[in-house]
């Protein structure tokens, strides 16, 4: 029974969601306010902790005039509101028709369901079998019955995770405006925590940023219409001493691909509030009577094994309970993509030449990137005109796909369905189909954004993309999106609802993804937005692969993939080997290292094989064989970061199979240091008494040696040098 409800100290409703490792506890106080007690390591309570009591302080308004012992100013709230003695960031803000924004919510009832509930219109995590997840729904009601809110919690049996969301219901007779509807808030006891977020820009996504918060507010988020390169919908909170391996850490992820916001706040109470959800910038929502508004789902992770433990919890949970693609637990094909090889400048013969060479080297999937349709010879036209360019590709997609299939490879294509070029036929026919606020339209990459808040536009995209996907034997689709949204508005919505457009866009996008991914379950979809600009847990519900970044430089990828792994499993990261000097950084790195970094994910190439040396081609053949040998491990192996590429000259990544019988590790040295150190690294999570063989070197090591003494058979010769190790267990209990 993972949810317990009991009476402690005459407090009637004490709710305890738990599994073997974690507890999430709150109770309903005498004013029917849900108060958080604990989220963290599994615990049992004999009494409601004293720390929950409030002792009168000057300057603090009390919740009830006659009772100086309770104020929301310091209470650990489950769902915070503004204007009623809590001065911290709220979870829900509403404007009523009389102009007031003050309201109270009081506990009314609870309900327990023995599975995870799917959220309507939004991605959500899921349970597959009865009993693996239990859901608690707490209903709060407003005093004048104008609204009610369902707080939805789910605990999973095998994961140190709580999911949360809120359903806001208009139960009154008047409409009201939701100004802010966050998915959850939680008040963690204590302050001075380190706040970690994944920040960046195009070409340098998800760099880890760690900063301490003693007072005030730390806000991160996106207002670009997408989850963005700038900040991932993620925040971690940990103690100063928490590191990769040790210490407590909380991770918060949001299943949302649009404007999001995460706030960490320390006020007078010396507790730290975390609130996350849809960004309230440029957002409001008119909720008419009998309507409801569902917030996106948040995933709350607790780890007592440092940041590494937090990441592994996210990885396992997302793989098992978030991504519904059939490919989630399938090995990913080795692909070659023609973008950095040809950009827009290709024809059928050239594509066939590259494909033939790729197939000889063992590549399994050929991806035709941007430029295959209409007049698309540059990025200034044709988006929206989804018919094949027969001058470039005589015979069309179908004939090309057949030719590539004959070589023993699958065929995939690139699309950017959410956009329109102003010179396209689509724009000429439907100029009101793009987002616009009545003000001038700002172009970015020469394109405009289609208004996905409109059902007619959604249906157009569903139909057009279905046509494309059915036009040839297509096994893979790269779904790109290459600009942020500006002057967001919709011609199809009433003036007073214009602040709803960004969220309606995302709901429209999810409807499209939902329909297309179910209609084409055999297609491996790869999410992309100018690289990793929409690599988020919301999208991951539909897709099992993401283009991690347009930056293919091996060293930059170390930083990007390191940060990305804080929340996303490596197998979801699309990583390609490209040529040097690198197109984004002009940096030269060894081909071995480019591959070793890319091997930790969904592996592929993005270069013109016709221009490589015999040595490089031979290397590629070996790399592909290696990937095919190790890739099963990436599916459910446990992932460890050893060292930090932005701080250490030597760092490693390691993946260990669940039975600990097989390990791969990639070790990277950044710079050659003259007369430098003799490096050693300690691997993790092996069987102490087992004997492991490193397959390439054909050399044996005990588990305890690799974990406690260290592995130091390494020699690096150049900057950005690296090595890949592959260990297999060849004997158990060798020292018993
Ligand atoms: C941006 C993507 O990230 C690239 O990989 C490539 O597909 C281009 N778009 C094509 O326009």
pLDDT mean over 202-220: 97
Residue with tokens 């240091």: 673
Question: 702 — phi, psi (to 5°)?
Answer: -85, 160
For residue 500, pLDDT beyond 70:
yes
Best mutation site among 415, 480, 604 for ligand 1 pocket (most ligand atoms within 8 Å of CB)? 480
Mean pLDDT of the chain: 95
Give the residues across from 641 on adjacent strands: 653
Report whether pLDDT(69) > 90. Answer: no
Q: Which of 194, 385, 480, 551 is catalytic?
A: 480
480 is catalytic: yes
Residue pLDDT, tens place only, 339-364: 999 999 999 999 999 999 999 999 99
Q: Mean pLDDT over residues 22-44, rounded?
A: 94
Helix (H) / strand (E) containing 509? helix 501-519
Q: How open is the CA angle 60-65-67, to the nearest 5 degrees?
A: 85
pLDDT exceeds cutoff 90 at 35? yes
Q: Is residue 550 annotated as part of the catalytic site, yes or no?
A: yes
Note the pLDDT of residue 428. Answer: 97
Distance CA 593, CA 590 (A): 5
What's the pLDDT band for 5 if we cut at 50, 70, 90? confident
Q: What tokens does 255 get?
A: 């299943």
Residue 123, SS3? Answer: coil
Is residue 712 pLDDT above 90, yes or no?
A: yes
CA distances from 410 to 91, 355, 414, 479, 728 (A): 47, 10, 14, 17, 31
Q: How far apart are CA 227 and CA 225, in angstroms?
A: 7
Confidence of residue 8 (pLDDT cuts 50, 70, 90): low
Neighbour tally for 429: CB within 10 Å? 9
Output the ligand 1 site: residues, CB below 6 A.
339, 369-370, 414, 480, 482, 528, 530-531, 547, 550
> Is the distance from CB of 542 to CB of 257 less than 8 angstroms?
no
Looking up tokens 């709230």 gives 77
Model pLDDT, residue 68: 81
Ligand 1: distance of its center to the CA of 353 in Å?
22
Cβ 580 vs Cβ 589: under 8 Å: yes
If one residue of 338, 547, 574, 602 were mutated to test the ligand 1 pocket, choosing by the most ligand atoms within 8 A of its CB, it would be 547
State whether residue 8 is helix, strand or coil: strand
Q: Are 495 and 438 in contact (CB under 8 A)?
A: no
Residue 423 CA to ligand 1 center (angstroms) comes to: 20
Please tell me the distance between residue 479's alpha carbon and the centre of ligand 1 in angstroms.
10
**Is residue 9 over pLDDT 70?**
no
What does the pLDDT read at residue 57? Answer: 72
Q: Which of 194, 370, 451, 550 is catalytic?
A: 550
Which of 201, 337, 339 gets mutated to test ligand 1 (max ligand atoms within 8 A of its CB)?
339
Closest CA to 716 of 683, 665, 681, 678: 678
Q: How far is CA 552 from the centre of its chain?
A: 20
Residues ≥6 apart with Cβ < 8 Å to 415: 386, 465, 468, 477, 478, 479, 480
Number of helices followed by number of strands (H, E) in the chain: 11, 36
Best residue for ligand 1 mutational test, from 414, 417, 583 (most atoms within 8 Å of Cβ): 414
Cα–ligand 1 centroid distance for 550 (angstroms):
7
Tell me if residue 350 falls in helix, strand or coil: helix
- Alpha carbon of 298 to ligand 1 centroid (Å): 29
Give the model's pLDDT for residue 54. 63
User: Tens digit of pLDDT for each residue in 97-134?
Assistant: 999 999 999 999 999 999 999 999 999 999 999 889 99
Q: Which atom of ligand 1 is nearest to the CA of 550?
A: 3
Q: What percent of the chain has pLDDT over 70?
A: 98
Distances (CA, A) of 187 to 34, 88, 731: 12, 10, 49
Residue nearest to atom 11 of ligand 1 (CA): 370
What pLDDT is attached to residue 203?
98
Residue 27 — very low, low, confident or very high, per pLDDT cuts 50/70/90? very high
The span from the CA of 214 to the CA of 246, in Å, is 22
pLDDT of residue 46: 85
Whether cis (ω within 30° of 0) applies to the bond prior to 581 is yes
Q: How many CB atoms lie within 10 A of CB 507?
A: 17
pLDDT tens digits for range 526-578: 999 999 999 999 999 999 999 999 999 999 999 999 999 999 999 999 999 99
Nearest CA to ligand 1 atom 1: 530
User: Cα dist. 47→327, 590, 696 in Å?
Assistant: 47, 62, 59
- In this structure, are residues 324 and 542 in contact, taking their beta carbons and an 8 Å threshold? yes
Does residue 10 surpass a pLDDT of 80?
A: no
Asked whether residue 613 carries a pLDDT value surpassing 80, the answer given is: yes
The pLDDT, as a whole number, for residue 53 is 63
Tokens of 473: 């034997």
Angle (deg, nearest 10), helices 501-519 and 455-470: 30
Atom nearest to 547 CA in ligand 1: 3
CA of 530 to the centre of ligand 1 (A): 6
* Predicted TM-score (pTM) above 0.85: yes
Query: Which residue's CA lies nearest to atom 2 of ligand 1?
Result: 530
What is the average pLDDT across 160-185?
98
Closest CA to 121 of 328, 296, 321, 325: 296
d(CA 232, CA 533): 9
What's the pLDDT at 11?
62
Percent of the chain with pLDDT over 90: 91
Among left, alpha and beta (phi > 0; psi -120 to 50; other), residue 121 is left
140 Cα–ligand 1 center, Å:
46
């Amino acid at each position: 029974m993972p949810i317990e409800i009991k009476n402690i100290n005459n407090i009637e409703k004490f709710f305890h969601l738990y599994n073997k490792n974690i507890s999430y506890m709150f109770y309903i106080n005498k004013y029917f306010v849900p108060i958080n007690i604990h989220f963290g390591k599994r615990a049992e309570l004999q009494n409601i902790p004293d720390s929950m009591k409030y002792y009168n302080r000057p300057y603090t308004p009390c919740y009830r005039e006659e009772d100086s012992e309770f104020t929301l100013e310091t209470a650990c709230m489950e769902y915070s509101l503004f204007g009623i003695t809590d001065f911290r960031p709220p979870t829900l803000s509403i404007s009523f028709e009389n102009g007031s924004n003050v309201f109270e919510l009081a506990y009314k009832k609870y309900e327990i369901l023995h599975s995870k509930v799917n959220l309507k219109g939004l991605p959500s995590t899921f349970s597959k079998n009865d009993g693996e997840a239990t859901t608690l729904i707490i209903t709060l009601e407003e005093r004048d019955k104008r609204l009610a809110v369902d707080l939805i919690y789910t605990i999973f049996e095998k994961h140190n995770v709580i999911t949360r969301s809120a359903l806001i219901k208009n139960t009154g007779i008047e409409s009201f405006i939701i100004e802010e509807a966050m998915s959850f808030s939680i008040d963690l006891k204590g302050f001075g925590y380190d706040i970690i977020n994944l920040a960046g820009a195009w070409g340098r996504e998800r760099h880890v940023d760690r900063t301490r918060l003693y007072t005030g507010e730390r806000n991160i988020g996106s207002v670009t219409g997408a989850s963005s390169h700038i900040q991932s919908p993620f925040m971690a909170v940990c103690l100063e001493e928490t590191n990769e391996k040790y210490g407590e850490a909380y991770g918060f992820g949001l299943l949302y691909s649009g404007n999001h916001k995460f706030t960490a706040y320390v006020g007078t109470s010396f507790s730290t509030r975390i609130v996350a959800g849809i960004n309230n910038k440029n957002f409001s929502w008119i909720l008419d009577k009998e309507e409801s508004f569902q917030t996106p789902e948040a995933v709350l992770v607790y780890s007592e094994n440092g940041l590494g433990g937090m990441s592994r919890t996210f990885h396992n949970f997302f793989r098992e309970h978030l991504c519904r693609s059939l490919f989630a637990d399938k090995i990913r094909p080795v692909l070659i993509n023609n973008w950095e090889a040809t950009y827009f400048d290709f024809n059928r013969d050239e594509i066939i030449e590259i494909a033939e060479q790729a197939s000889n080297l063992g590549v399994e999937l050929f991806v035709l990137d941007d430029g295959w349709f209409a007049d698309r010879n540059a990025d200034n036209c044709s988006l929206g005109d989804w018919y094949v360019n027969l001058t470039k590709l005589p015979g069309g997609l179908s004939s090309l796909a057949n030719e590539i299939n004959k070589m023993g490879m699958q065929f995939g294509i690139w699309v950017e369905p959410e956009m329109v070029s102003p010179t396209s036929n689509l724009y000429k026919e439907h100029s009101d189909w793009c987002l616009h606020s009545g003000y001038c339209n700002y172009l970015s990459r020469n394109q405009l954004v289609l208004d996905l808040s409109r059902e007619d536009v959604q249906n157009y995209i569903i139909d057009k993309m279905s046509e494309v996907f059915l036009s040839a034997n297509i096994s893979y689709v790269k779904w790109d999106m290459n600009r942020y949204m500006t002057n967001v508005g919709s011609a199809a919505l009433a003036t007073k609802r214009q602040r709803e457009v960004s969220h309606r866009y995302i709901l429209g996008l999810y409807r499209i993804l939902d329909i297309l991914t179910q209609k084409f379950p055999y297609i491996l979809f790869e999410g992309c937005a100018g690289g990793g600009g929409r690599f988020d847990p919301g999208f991951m519900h539909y897709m099992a692969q993401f283009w991690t970044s347009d930056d293919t430089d091996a060293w930059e990828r170390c930083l990007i993939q390191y940060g990305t792994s804080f929340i996303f499993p490596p197998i979801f990261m699309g990583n390609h080997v490209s040529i040097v000097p690198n197109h984004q950084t002009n940096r030269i790195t060894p081909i071995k290292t480019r591959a070793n970094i890319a091997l930790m994910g969904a592996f592929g190439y993005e270069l013109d094989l016709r221009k490589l040396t015999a040595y490089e081609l031979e290397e590629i053949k070996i790399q592909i064989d290696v990937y095919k040998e190790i890739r099963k491990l990436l599916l459910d192996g446990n992932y460890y970061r050893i060292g930090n590429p932005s701080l250490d000259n030597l760092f490693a990544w390691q993946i260990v199979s669940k039975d600990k019988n097989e390990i791969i590790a990639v070790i990277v040295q950044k710079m050659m240091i003259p007369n430098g150190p003799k490096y050693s690294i300690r691997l993790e999570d092996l069987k102490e008494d087992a004997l492991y063989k490193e397959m390439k070197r054909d050399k044996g090591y005990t588990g305890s040696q690799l974990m406690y003494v260290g592995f130091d058979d390494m020699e690096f010769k150049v900057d950005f040098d690296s090595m890949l190790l592959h260990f297999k267990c060849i004997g158990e209990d060798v020292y018993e």
